[in-house]
Amino acid sequence: MPKTVKTSKVSTDGPNPVPESGGRTDLSMTGGYPLPVPRPIVLKSRHGLRIALMLAIIAAIAGGGGYYWWRQTLDALPAGIVSGNGRIEADEIDISTKFAGRIATLLANEGDTVTAGQAVAMMDTRDLETSLARAQAQVKQSLRSIDEARATLTQQQTLAALSQQQFDRTASLVQRGDATRELLDQRRQQLDGATAAVSAADARVAQAEHAFEAAQHDAELYQINIKDNTLVAPRDGRIQYRIANVGEVLPAGGKILTMIDIQSVYMDVYLPTLDAGRVKVGTEARILLDAYPDRAIPAKASFIATQSQFTPKTVETKTERDRLMFRVRVRIDPELLKARAESVRTGLPGVAFVRLDPQVPWPARLQNVVKK
């Protein structure tokens, strides 16, 4: 009868197998001894892993170098075209009060597009309207004063004419001996007094007319001041900031809104000495925005700084001079901006390309130009 012994199941999990109770093994085939349990074989080749890692690093470096070379080849500019980084900017216009006062109404908000002459805010003008009513009343009173002065002048002119007739008649009587010279002297004094009264009445008429003109000017001034308290947009543009709110009392010159002039949009770039020295006002340029890399915006150089943006030394070598940077402004065509006013955005970063040599063609990526 074969001899059997109780054995345990061997768990192969982990580096040290753990026997588990439960099964039996026939020892007749093994000379009465249990068979040894084989351990799992784990192959660890550090050398192979190191080689694989090195190959992966070399492949990554080669791929990155190839991509960099491809980008450099793609972005390379031909001789005669230079570039500089910048942001789209526009002229800012502050809409401010002319007089101290309280804001009554705001008719525009941030982001609104406005046209030249459009009302954007109104100030409280009740005090000015009261002053205007008083000035208009003075105008009416001046008209009555003019009528009164002219009537007085007519009366004095009539008396002066009568005095002249009496003097002439008395003078004839004195020549015939029918009147005394004493009476003639009296008539002369009466005539002189009437003439003086006419001059005085004429002066009062002129004074009344001048007072009327002054009252009219006062009324017109109040009307202008009331009109100036209605703030309007001076140019076509977009409201950028709202600085004050309804009900606030502002001093003269207090800012209420800030707008951008959408017909004066530009980008400032900085070019080295050699490139900036070849740029002229009117030099053709193109702007490529990061947000729209496939559409080039036509522009022209409108300003070249006369001084470098870095403080130069008293004595400079050629290398130091080449490092000096000059600000160059390229401005977008106002007609193009007017046609695409809703698309104008400030603050967008991009690159401005300036063509120093007009004979050099634009690269392919700059030939897709935005048109009016």
Residue 236 lies in a domain: no
Q: What angle do CA 372, 267, 330 make, to 5 degrees?
A: 70
Same domain, 265 and 193: no
**pLDDT of res. 368:** 87
Please state, in angstroms and rounded to a whole number, the distance separating the CA atoms of residues 328 and 274.
13
Q: Which two tokens stand for residue 152?
A: 């007085």
Asked whether residue 231 is assigned to any structural domain, the reply reads: no
Answer yes or no: do 294 and 218 share one domain: no
How many angstroms separate the Cα of 234 from the Cα of each of 21, 53, 296?
Answer: 97, 67, 30
Over residues 212-235, mean pLDDT? 94
Secondary structure (3-state) at 244: coil
Residue 340 lies in a domain: yes
C-alpha span between 347 and 258 (Å, rounded): 16
Let me know if residue 247 belongs to a domain.
no
- Identify whether residues 304 and 321 lie together within a single domain: yes
Q: Are residues 298 and 218 in the same domain?
A: no
> Residues 362, 330: one domain?
yes
The pLDDT-based confidence of 319 (bands split at 50, 70, 90) is: low
At residue 288, the pLDDT reads 92
Taking the alpha carbons at both ends of the chain, their separation in whole angstroms is 108
Q: Could you tell me if residue 152 is inside a domain?
A: yes
Together in a domain, 30 and 53: no
Domain encompassing residue 315: 77-92+258-366
Instruction: Give the residue from 118, 95, 123 showing the smallest Cα distance to 260.
Output: 95
Looking at residue 8, its pLDDT comes to 43
Helix, coil or strand: residue 163: helix
Residue type, 46: R
From the CB of residue 183, how many other CB atoms can be counted at a distance below 10 Å? 14
Number of domains in the chain: 4
- Please check whether residues 47 and 36 belong to one and the same domain: no
Q: Is residue 132 domain-shared with residue 216, that is, in the same domain?
A: yes
| Same domain membership, residue 32 and residue 47 | no
Q: How confident is the model at residue 7 (pLDDT cuts 50, 70, 90)?
A: very low
In this prediction, residue 90 carries a pLDDT of 92
In eight-state DSSP terms, residue 97 is -
Tokens of 85: 């980084």
Q: Tell me: do 31 and 64 sit in the same domain.
A: no
- Residue 47, pLDDT score: 63
Q: Are residues 16 and 51 in the same domain?
A: no
**Quick one: 62 and 86 in the same domain?**
no
Residue ranges in 253-313 assigned as alpha helix (H): 273-276
Residue 332 lies in a domain: yes
Whether 131 is in a domain gets the answer yes
Q: For the chain, what is the mean pLDDT?
A: 81
